[in-house]
Structure formats: C-alpha cells, structure tokens
Amino acid sequence: MYMTEPIQSKCQTIRRAKNADMPTISDLWLQTSLQAHSFVADEYWRAEYDTMCHEYFPECEVWLLEESGHLLAFVALHGDELSALFVTASRQRQCLGEQLVRFAQRRRSYLELSVYAKNPRALAFYRKMGFVPVCLGACVNTDEAEWQLRWSVNRP
C-alpha cells in the first residue's frame, strides 16, 4: 500500500518504501553507520550491506522522508521494534528524526529499540522522544555494549 503524509512543507513527504528504494535506503544506512558507529570496524558494516539491502529492509515496514523526491531520512519498523532510523548527514539536527519517530509512535502503542552505549547522542535523542532505558547488554553481532529502550503510549 502506498501512503504519503505531508509534513512541515509542501515539498516534504513520508511514504512507504518500495523494493526499488532498497539500494538507496541501504546506501544511507551504510554511510550513516560508518559515521555514527566509528567504534565498530568499517568492514563489519560493509559486509552487512547486501543482507540489509536484500533481506533485512525488505522484511521491515520502512518509511521514507523525502523532499522533492530526494531521500532525507528513513525509519524501519520490524513488528514493535524501531530497528533503524537514519538521517542524511547534511540534514541531521533539523528535526527529521523527530518527525519519523513521532510518525512511528502514531502507528504503534509500544516500541522498543537498541542503541550502542558508545552513541550517547542517540541515547539522549531517544530519551527526549519518550523512550526509557530498560537494560544494558551486548550486541550479538558486534559484542559492543548496547542499551535496550522502550516506549509505550500508556507509560506512567
């Protein structure tokens, strides 16, 4: 199903990703992962590219935030997991991530996610968006410490 939702300006829209979008989404995922997660070897991210592009993202509910047809950011939902949120480097800190998280929160009553402990900027962002840290564990793929966070529409 193809849906759009105008946001902030007439030129920005949120729409559901199509299979043809997966390479562009995966490119943004790789570029941003390399930048934001420098504590994980670049080779890990590069090795995961094909899996993300051809297997993982196609299984997710992915929403794109575009401006005049150009990808600015995306959010991926896998059930009740907010599994990915990535914003083009040149457009970070312009509330695009907030718009996509709010968009996801309107579609779920409960969300969970994982954030690397070495990414305090992301942790602070998700806390600002109402997510609560639940526990600290280790990522099964990288062995890096990561926080599990949860958000609920019915939170106290």
Helix (H) or strand (E) holding 43: helix 42-51
pLDDT in tens, 104-146: 999 999 999 999 999 999 999 999 999 999 999 999 999 999 9
pLDDT in tens, 52-111: 999 999 999 999 999 888 999 999 999 999 999 998 877 777 688 899 999 999 999 999
pTM for this predicted structure? 0.87
Q: List the domain boundaries for the chain.
A: 4-152
Check whether domain 4-152 has CATH 3.40.50.10490, yes or no: no
